Structure formats: C-alpha cells, structure tokens
Amino acid sequence: PETVTVQELANRMAERGANVIKALMKMGVMATITQSIDADTAELVVEEFGHKAKRVADSDIEIGLVAPQDDADKLTSRAPVVTVMGHVDHGKTSLLDALRQTDVVSGEAGGITQHIGAYQVTRPSGQKITFIDTPGHAAFTAMRARGAKVTDIVILVVAADDGIMPQTVEAIRHAKAAEVPIVVAVNKIDKPDADPNRVRTELLNHDIQVEEMGGEVLSVEVSAKQKLNLDKLEEAILLQSELLDLKANPERSAEGTVIEAKMEKGRGSIATILVTRGTLRVGDVFVAGKEWGRVRAMVDERGQRIDEAGPAVPVEVLGFAGTPDAGDDFVVVEDEARAREVAEYRQRKEREALAVKSARGGSSMEQLFA
C-alpha cells in the first residue's frame, strides 16, 4: 500500500511538521512525525492545506531529474579532467604538486594552495586542464562503482628507476576497464639509474605501446622533482584531449559529481563538486546523492570566493544539509521542495535496502546457530 511519513508529507508541502500533525488530529488521526499515513489520508491533508495532491509512484520521482542530452549546437569545448595513477612512491603526489605550480593565473592570489580534491591549471596559451588531486586507485574505483565517470584521461606515472610494479599493472587494468585513455609519465628521469627505455619495453607486456615503440600511446619523460618537461606532459594531455573532442553545454542548470566531502566545524558539510555540464551559481538548489542543499558560497582552489563555475571546473560548495559521498551525482533542481523530495526518496530507498539486508543477515545468523 502507498504510504508517506508525516515528515515527508510536510516537507513536500513545505509546511511545518507540527502543523501537519495538528491537521491530522483535526481529522481524528493521531500520528507522530515519523509515522506513516496512507495515501488517501495524505491526500485529504494536502487539500486541507490548500495544495493540489498529485500521487507519484516512487519510480517516477527521479524521472526528469537529469536533463536529456544537449543539442550539438549548444556544446562548447571544455577542459580535460585528468587522474594520476601509478605505483606507490613513483611520484604521483610530487607530480600533482609540480603540475599545480604550472598555473599561470594564480599570480597575486599566491598559487593553488587549497587541497579541495581537484584543481584546474591555466597554461600560458590559455588552455586549461583539470587535475583530480587525490591520486590512487581507491578513489578512481569508488567513483566508478557509483557510476561516476569523471576522468577523461589517466596519467600513468612510472618511475624510470623502478619500472612496472604491481600497482602500475593495477592502474592499467582500471584505466582499460573504464575505457579511459592513458598518457604515460616516465618519472624520475633525473636519477642516475633511470632507464626510461626499460619502462617503455615493459609496458609492451601490458598492451601499452607508446609512440617510441610504434604505438599510439603518448608518453613523456619527466622529473617531478626537478620540474622537467611538465609543459610537454601538459601538451600531451591536451593533444589526447583534442582527440577526445570533449564538449559540454555551459548554458543550462548545473550537473556534476562529488569529488570529496567532509564535515567541518563552523562551516558545516562541504563538498568539492566537479561540474560536468551547465553552470553552477550561488543560490542554486541541488540534490547530491541522498543529500540536498542550496549553494551558500563557492570557493576555488586558490581559496577565492567565486560566483559561478562552468564545465570541468572544480569548486568547493558550502550549503549542504548533510554530507554526501564521493562519487555521488550532483544536480541543480528547480526548488527546495523538489530537492527534498528526491533526497528523501533516496534516503528512504537506502533505509529499505538496509532493512532487507539486515533481515537477510538475521536469517543467515539463525541458520548459522541452528
């Protein structure tokens, strides 16, 4: 049977829970805020408040949430989004730090200093590249498990003095499974025992043929430590990006992905959003996974307040009612009622799924002790 909790009904009407309880009492129905009432009763309450009732099946709630594909003539080029992967100690963090310093617009602001989970650099040519600032396979796979495909290109870092190691192989596997092209960064070429040729040869064993080996995979020799060839690496990224022909419509309400999220004392729940299409603005109301909110402020990777963020721009968003999860979708919706409706629906679905799971767990425990 269709039911709705008093709280949910109140939220959907944007009325106070206490007033809904009072209205129910007048109708002779005693219910607390967390109790469920049937659809017929709910409809009467809705009319009592002067609203028009419209019953929607659960499955209808998410329909239309994500906008259909944009018309081709609305699309404009966007920056590539890049993730750095590779074996431990091969220089992922060092490379991300070095690339951060290639940004030319930081100037007075003192550079890209905030670690918000992603940053965007502007090259002297004006072209931009977005880097996901959390190296590692866990983040990549966690996002992919949630259906989020944020990465356009994987930078595979391989230390020239160490060669292909287990996590290098793992990274290759992840990138291939996600069908994301790889650009190889042969790192630590400043070291006396560096052997970039060995790296290129070993890569052949893993189905990666770099250009020097007659293949098509771009590869660049770099030193994160001495900041050698970082411009060449960025050029390779942009070349790969051109082949991918990355585009998005900036002129629509924003959609994106949660890159990371946390609870901060005094600031509330904060999340870094990577906008995938549209433009996000202060004041926008949104749903992010099972949470919702209204953009109270946005801060970029330089710690500067900004008013809007377009496609491929990462931005720290304040104004969440709760903390979402990395990899959650982020969608701007028309109003608070819609945002609450979707968030509550998703929360309820999760509660139900958990209940089913624990019920199943319970029975298997019984079997265990039978």
Binding region = 86-93, 133-137, 187-190
Min dist CB 18 to ligand GDP, Å, is 53
Considering the complex, state which of residue 112 and residue 343 has its C-beta at the smaller distance from Mg ion.
Answer: 112
| Minimum CB distance to ligand GDP, residue 93 (Å) | 3
Candidate list 7, 19, 36, 93; residue touching Mg ion; CB under 5 A: 93
Dist. CA 3–CA 100, nearest whole Å: 52
Nearer to ligand GDP, 91 or 278 (CB): 91
User: Please, which residue, 171 or 217, has the CB nearer to ligand GDP?
Assistant: 171
Structure tokens at 17: 């829970």
When the beta carbons of 164 and 273 are compared against ligand GDP, the nearer one is 164
CB of 140 vs ligand GDP, minimal distance in Å = 14
Q: What angle do CA 194, 233, 118 make, to 5 degrees?
A: 110
Q: How far is the CB of 247 from ligand GDP (least distance, A)?
A: 32
Give kind and range of the element (H or E) at residue 145: helix 137-145
Smallest gap from residue 76 Cβ to ligand GDP (A): 34
Q: How far is residue 332's CA from residue 253's CA, in Å, rounded to a whole number?
A: 6
- Residue 220 CB, nearest approach to ligand GDP (Å): 12
Residue 131: alpha-carbon gap to chain centroid: 13
Smallest distance, Å, CB 193 to ligand GDP? 10
Q: Write down the least CB distance from residue 159 to Mg ion, Å.
A: 12
**Which lies closer to Mg ion via its Cβ, residue 20 or residue 132?**
132
Contact 306, 116 (CB under 8 A): no
Distance (Å, whole) CA 20 – CA 48: 10
Specify the stretch interacting with Mg ion by CB under 5 A; choose among 85-93, 226-234, 279-287, 342-350: 85-93
**Which residues of the chain form contacts with ligand GDP (CB under 6 A)?**
86, 88-94, 135, 187-188, 190-191, 223-225
- Listed ranges 17-25, 72-80, 91-99, 256-264: which one lies at the site for Mg ion (CB under 5 A): 91-99
Closer by beta carbon to ligand GDP, 135 or else 278: 135
Residue number, nearest CB to Mg ion: 93
Taking CB within 5 to 8 Å according to partner kind, which of Mg ion, ligand GDP, none is near residue 225? Answer: ligand GDP
Residues tagged in the binding site annotation for GTP:
86-93, 133-137, 187-190
> Binding of Mg ion at residue 347 (CB under 5 A)?
no
What is the SS3 string spanning 16-32? CHHHHHHHHHHCCCCCC
Residue closer to Mg ion by CB (options 95, 299) is 95
Q: At 144, give phi and psi (nearest 5°).
A: -65, -35
Q: What's the one-letter identity of residue 163?
A: G
Cα–Cα dist 244/84, whole Å: 18
Residues 6+ apart with CB under 8 A from 356: none
Site string for Mg ion, 41-80 (x = CB under 5 A): ----------------------------------------
**And the tokens for 221?**
């020799």
Tell which residue, 85, 176, 81, has the closest CA to residue 139: 85
C-alpha 308/C-alpha 316 separation (Å) is: 11
Order of strands across the sheet that contains 118-122: 118-122, 128-132, 81-86, 153-159, 182-187, 219-221
Distances (CA, A) of 357 to 3, 208, 346, 352: 22, 42, 16, 9
**94 in contact with Mg ion (CB under 5 A):** no
Nearer to ligand GDP, 236 or 318 (CB): 236
Residue 290 interacts with which of Mg ion, ligand GDP, none, CB < 5 to 8 Å by class = none
Instruction: Give the residues lining the site for Mg ion (CB under 5 A).
Output: 92-93
